[in-house]
Amino acid sequence: MASAGVVFEHIALVDTSAVIALHDPTDKFHAVAHKFLQTTELALVTLNVTAHEAYTRGRYDNGLDRACAHFNFLRSSDLSRLCFTKFDENIAYDMLVKYNDQQLSFHDALCGAVMLRKGIYKVFAFDRDFFTFGFELLPGAYA
């Protein structure tokens, strides 16, 4: 978790979509993701359950090796892990109800709830759910 001295405006949350782009050379955002990761000066954090979602997406879409690469990146890298609370789950649920006209991921809403609680408004992602929730997508593109 970020230390008390960290300024949250200099932090971005890493989403599953960014992890997939980093590890899949056929992903349309692969080069952009790598460039962002190599050049960003932001501190990067992730939600503790993002490793689970990334593993599952990798396993379903590209097999065990890719799934393990996603999981290991999120667990063995220098990323700090944020944990969600019951309060965050309630806020995520409320976000999904608020935007009920769109199909949104509970995981993304949960990330959004934690980000709001922590004062983090930037996300390394290629997922329009975060744009819908009002967060700044970095590096700026989304599917």
Give me the residue spans of the domains in the chain.
8-83+119-138
β strands within 1-61, DSSP E? 11-14, 43-47
- Among 121, 91, 123, residue whose Cα is nearest residue 106: 91
What is the structure's pLDDT at 76? 81
pLDDT tens track of the chain, all 143 residues?
A: 444 445 567 999 999 999 999 999 999 999 999 999 999 999 999 999 999 999 999 899 888 999 999 999 999 878 899 999 999 999 999 999 999 999 999 999 999 999 999 999 999 999 989 999 999 999 987 76
Burial of 61 (0-12, 13-18, 19+ CB in 10 A): exposed
What is the structure's pLDDT at 7? 52
Query: Do the Cβ atoms of 12 and 44 come closer than 8 Å?
Result: yes
Q: Which fold would CATH assign to domain 8-83+119-138?
A: Rossmann fold (3.40.50)
Handedness of CA 115, 118, 123, 124 (dihedral sign): negative
Nearest-Å Rg of the Cα atoms of the chain is: 14
What is the structure's pLDDT at 78? 82
